Amino acid sequence: YCVEFRTESLSQHCALETRPYARWMQYLREGHTVCVACQPPAMSAATRRCSGDGHNAHGDKILHWEAVGNSQCQGTWKKIRQLEYCSCPLVHSFIFT
């Protein structure tokens, strides 16, 4: 499944990332919608959910995130909706880890 979030805030360290495999962090923007896929092995076998997916978060609950590979690239987002069938665009698409 996938979860759509609206990025509320992010640290300036995301825009400063220059390593080739991590340049995607430069494209994060406040107010943009991002789509995050929950796939194995991040999915718990017991619950069939990914940690941090905001399962019980709706409305104005602010959730925190951190980029893998750069712990200084972090921020907050709000859950918009969960999609059982993923149709994430290539841009602004991420995977829970």
Tell me, yes or no, whether 59 lies in a domain: yes
Residue 97: inside a domain: no
Q: What pLDDT is recorded for position 76?
A: 94
Q: Is the pLDDT of residue 19 over 70?
A: yes
pLDDT, position 91: 66
Q: What is the rounded distance in angstroms from the CA atom of residue 45 to the CA atom of residue 1?
A: 14
Cα 87 to Cα 4, 22, 83, distances in angstroms: 10, 23, 8
Number of domains in the chain: 1
User: Is 24 within the bounds of a domain?
Assistant: yes
pTM for the whole structure = 0.82
CA distance 42 to 40: 5
Quick check: is 11 in a domain?
yes
Structural domain contains residue 46? yes
pLDDT of residue 78: 93
In tens, the pLDDT along 43-93 reads 888 998 988 888 877 767 899 999 888 889 999 999 999 988 887 777 667
Return the pLDDT at 92.
62
Structural domain including 12 reads 2-92
Q: How confident is the model at residue 6 (pLDDT cuts 50, 70, 90)?
A: very high
